[in-house]
Amino acid sequence: MDDDSGIKAQPFDFVAISDLEQCGENSMVDILGVCTAASAIGSINTKKGSQLDKRSIVLGDSTGKSVEVTLWGEEAQKNEEHKLVNQIVAIKSARVSYYRNRTLSTSFQSRIHINPSDNPDAQRLRHWCDSNPNFDFQSVSNNTGGTGGSGGAGGADSTQRKFFASIKQEQLGTASSSMAHSRALRKDGGAQNGDYITVRGTVVYYRHDEKKPPWYMACTNLKTDGKTKCAKKATEQPPTWFCASCNKTTHAEPRYVTQ
Ligand SMILES: [Zn+2]
């Protein structure tokens, strides 16, 4: 028997991201967007005690709006960050949630297509993206609980939330980060070069190799400000420790390294 006979792939009926606010809660929509950010895979504990993988992505379309989409289970596993970012993503049957204004999530009936080559809407969006590089989408997913907005005057938006991928993409914290992007995360209103970021994440991997522990022995000498510790790697010089950075002996304490 041929299971595929007579079953045609259902055509897409895309809803513009700017129209998501007109969609009912829990309704199923087809969505098409360029992926501007994708988180690393994470997981949640279900009520039944098992783990469910999840990955958050952001899709933007030519209406200038973007939406956060949560991929669950297998879709979260197989659609890795590098396969998604800057690609055109079409999702058949994504569920509309009123969580944080409007967000989307996949369900067991959702199908994700990356760069669907035979779809004219996808081709049009690709062309739109190419002529609008680094477009600053306005999100319909409310991350802050506040008004959001597009940054601007003096650090009011310091609680703006971003994915790791967009922090990397916008090169926040590096000298080349653009004013427009980094200003929103600055506590000082843009007077200095630093970008201050508070990070929330889930530990998914923990090194436990005795020879390479997830910490190093850090120098405890105080810096010239008299408050912060040097924290550079100290080498053991029994019965004490030595810091090459301070060029003097020091005590040492384990300092955890996150990757
Ligand atoms: Zn030191």
Query: Residue 114: its pLDDT value, please?
Result: 96
- CA-nearest of 201, 237, 233, 206 to 220 is 233
Q: How far is the CA of 194 from the centre of ligand 1 (A)?
A: 23
0.85 exceeded by pTM: no
Which string of b and e fits 34-70 if b means at least 16 CB within 10 Å?
Answer: bbbbbbebbbeeeeeeeeebbbbbbbbbbeebbbbbb
Q: How far is the CA of 186 from the centre of ligand 1 (A)?
A: 29
Q: How far is the CA of 234 from the centre of ligand 1 (A)?
A: 7
Q: How far is the CA of 251 from the centre of ligand 1 (A)?
A: 9
Q: Locate the domains of the chain by residue range.
A: 4-131, 145-201, 215-256
Query: Residue 162: its pLDDT value, please?
Result: 67
Query: Residue 179: its pLDDT value, please?
Result: 40
**180 phi and psi angles, rounded to 5 deg:** -60, -40
CA distance 53 to 44: 7
Q: What is the pLDDT along the chain (259 residues), one digit of tens a residue?
A: 444 544 556 789 999 999 999 999 999 999 999 999 999 999 988 878 888 999 999 999 999 999 999 999 999 999 999 999 999 999 999 999 998 899 999 988 899 999 998 899 999 999 999 999 889 999 999 864 433 333 333 333 345 566 777 767 666 665 544 343 433 343 444 444 556 666 776 766 666 677 777 788 999 999 888 888 999 999 998 888 999 999 999 988 888 876 6
Query: Residue 50: its pLDDT value, please?
Result: 86
Query: Residue 19: its pLDDT value, please?
Result: 96
Q: How far is the CA of 217 from the centre of ligand 1 (A)?
A: 11
Determine the 3-state secondary structure of 18 from DSSP.
helix
Q: How far is the CA of 232 from the centre of ligand 1 (A)?
A: 5
Q: How far is the CA of 250 from the centre of ligand 1 (A)?
A: 7
The class level of CATH for 4-131 reads mainly beta
Q: How far is the CA of 81 from the centre of ligand 1 (A)?
A: 38
Query: Residue 170: its pLDDT value, please?
Result: 67
